[in-house]
Structures are given as structure tokens and as C-alpha cells.
Amino acid sequence: MTDTRRQVELVCPAGNLPSLKAAVDNGADAVYMGFRDGTNARNFPGLNFNGGEATAAIAYARDRGARVLLAINTYPSPGQWDNWCAAVDQAARLDVDAVILADAGLMRYAARTQPQLKLHLSVQGSATNHEAISFYTQHFDIKRVVLPRVLSLSQVRNIIDKVDTEVEVFGFGSLCVMVEGRCVLSSYVTGDSPNTCGVCSPAKAVRWEESAAGRKSRLNGVLIDVYAPQEPAGYPTLCKGRFDVDGNVYYALEEPTSLNVLNILPALLNAGVAAIKVEGRQRSPAYVAHVTRVMRSALDACESDPEHFVPKPEWLAQLDKVAEGRCHTLGAYHRPWQ
């Protein structure tokens, strides 16, 4: 019998220090964080770290055996190039375990000026085939690639078989209808893009309207959704709004649901993934603690006995409690026709 057990890293979100502590204390092997500016794709008010906070966060994680990854995963404009380079330099001074980059020019800068920094290719880099990944590996010595959430399990396997770098995949959290790094929906409505401004649906553009008939959510004046009284309301993003299409009101682009890979954990481990990532730097510390705890238990059980692993119903129920739409999916991973 072939031993398929692998030590797979559980990578969890750290939008602020309480969330970082929640992740580390509940079993994360690594956390990912960003600076408090547009250099990262979760540039929401009240999130992320300045230099002093980052130093404290890194010390807390390392004292407990967790690695720290820093996301500098947006695309700098020419007029702001120096700000992104400064972020790379600051990451080097902080001695983070790796930086997560999307922009090829910034990778070139990091590889030339901070050669000691390990580089990861962000999901925002939109690398969906082995040729693209090999390009980044050969030119910038990328140590790990984070795959977009649009690939099937067979496509993930094919990439792992053909690339000479670690592969990280998303395991739980919000889905994206687009190939990350290429979405222009938020920019179309608000003028701000997660690819350059670091935020999808910026808070300054969000409006809520309350009435006896229910709640309306708008993004820069565009009606995104209407919720009945007592109906759970999600944060307004254009791709997950309900729209009138030929007289039918429904989720025209994407229904709110969360990715959950517990049902295919053995297959992912057998394929050779290096890390499983939890989405959610914009989520609360309670969310981070809850998801990290369940994912830690599931990963440990799967690595211990992958051939007999079956997700516990209570794990799935616990994750559904914090999932979008209170339900989960395998998303693009499940394409039995391939």
C-alpha cells in the first residue's frame, strides 16, 4: 500500500492582530497578512497592519511555531511604484517567511534587491496553467503558487505534476466568479478595483436603506439586493447581487455560497498540494477561530488516515454556520465530465 500522507500547511487569514492570534491559537501552521494600504487586496478600513503592529504580530506567531506570509498582491500604477517597492523592502526588514506577489515587475524588484525573500505567486496573478507558473518560477524563483478558484481537481493535479514549485489551493471561504486578478466589476461600478486599489466593493461606496418592507443594499447608487424583513443580508458585491433579468429576479452571476473542500481532502493530499488556504482577512476573529479549529481537526484526521477519511457531519455543520448563504460547494473542483 502506498503511503499518501503529506504534511500540508494550513494557511489562515490575519486581517488584524486579534484575528492573527485566533488563527495561531486554533492551529494554523501559517497566517497571511497585509500592510494598511493599497498594496494588498483587502484594503478595508480597520484592517491590516502598520510596521509596529506587524512586528508584534510576527513575534506572536513565531513564538508559537507559526509562519507569517505577507500579501503585497495588488498591481501598482506607475505613479505609485515607489510605495509598492517600499512595502517589499519593509517585508524584508520584518523578515517575513514569504511575500505574496502578483505583479511581475514587483517580483523582479524583489528578486534583485531582496534576494533573501521567498516569493509566492498570489492568486491575483491568475496563473491557471503550468506554462504560466513555470515562467514565474524560472524568472523570479517563485517558491509557491496560489491557484485561482476556477480550476477543477483534475486540472490541479495536472499542474502539480508539471511544475517545479509548491502549490497552494483554497479550502474554505468566499468564491470568486472571475479568475482573480482579472475582475473589473467593482471598478465598473465604483471606479475602484481590488487589483489596483486593494478592495472589492469599497466601504465608502456601500449604502444601506432600511424600511418596513425590508432592507436595500446599494453600491455607488446601484441597487445590488433587496432583503425581506429578518432575511440575512450579505455585504454588497456586484457578482453576488440579485438582478432583474427578463422579468426574473435571481442571482444572475453567482449565488452566495462558500467553498468547502472537506469532501475531497484525501484527493488534494494525494495530488500533492503543499498548503490549504482559508479565505477571509476581512472576516472577524470569531470567524477565523471557528474555521481554523474545524479545518485543523479535519486536516489532522485526513493526514493520519487518508484512505478512511470521511468528514464528520459536525464539521460540515460548523462550517455551514459561517458560510455565505449558510451552504457550501466544491465549486470548480467538481467537474466529473473532465
One DSSP character per residue, 110-149 reads HHHH-TTS-EEE-GGG---SHHHHHHHHHHH---EEEPPT
User: Does residue 246 share a domain with residue 145?
Assistant: no
Per residue in 88-118, pLDDT (tens digit) is 999 999 999 999 999 999 999 999 999 999 9
**Taking the chain, what is the end-to-end CA distance rounded to the nearest angstrom?**
27
127 and 94 within one domain: yes
Q: Does residue 1 fall inside a structural domain?
A: no
Q: Number of structural domains, the chain?
A: 2
Residue 204 lies in a domain: yes
CATH number of the domain bearing residue 19 = 3.20.20.70
Range of the domain at 208: 185-251
Q: Is residue 338 part of a domain?
A: no
Last residue of a domain, one of 200, 232, 251: 251
Kindly state whether residues 167 and 213 are assigned to the same domain.
no
Residue 5's pLDDT is what? Answer: 35
Helical (H) or strand (E) element with 4: none
14 and 46 fall within a common domain = yes
What stretches of the chain adopt beta strand conformation (E)? 9-13, 30-34, 67-72, 98-101, 119-121, 144-146, 166-174, 206-211, 214-219, 222-227, 242-245, 248-251, 258-260, 275-278, 328-329
Q: What is the mean pLDDT of the chain?
A: 93
Q: Where among 235, 251, 267 does a domain terminate?
A: 251
**Of 237, 270, 275, nearest in space to 100 by CA:** 275
Task: Please check whether residue 52 lies inside any domain of the structure.
Answer: yes
pLDDT tens by residue, 234-290: 888 888 899 999 999 999 988 888 999 999 999 999 999 999 999 999 999 999 999
277 and 217 within one domain: no
Determine the Cα angle at 242 with ends 238 and 246, to 5°. Answer: 115
* 210 part of a folded domain: yes
Where residue 2 falls among pLDDT bands split at 50, 70, 90?
very low
Do both 274 and 137 map to the same domain? yes
* Residue 276 covered by a domain: yes
Whether 4 is in a domain gets the answer no
Judgement on whether residues 202 and 303 belong to the same structural domain of the protein: no
Are 265 and 314 found together in one domain? yes
For 306-322, how does the pLDDT look when each residue is reduced to its tens digit (9 = 90+)? 999 999 999 999 999 99
Domain end (from 251, 274, 303): 251
Examine the domain organization and report whether 110 and 190 are in the same domain: no
- pTM score: 0.93
For residue 2, tell me if it sits in a domain. no
Residues 247 and 271 in one domain: no
Clarify whether residues 63 and 143 are in a common domain. yes
Whether residue 74 sits in one domain with residue 170: yes
What's the average model confidence in pLDDT over 56-79? 97
User: What percentage of the chain carries pLDDT values higher than 70?
Assistant: 98
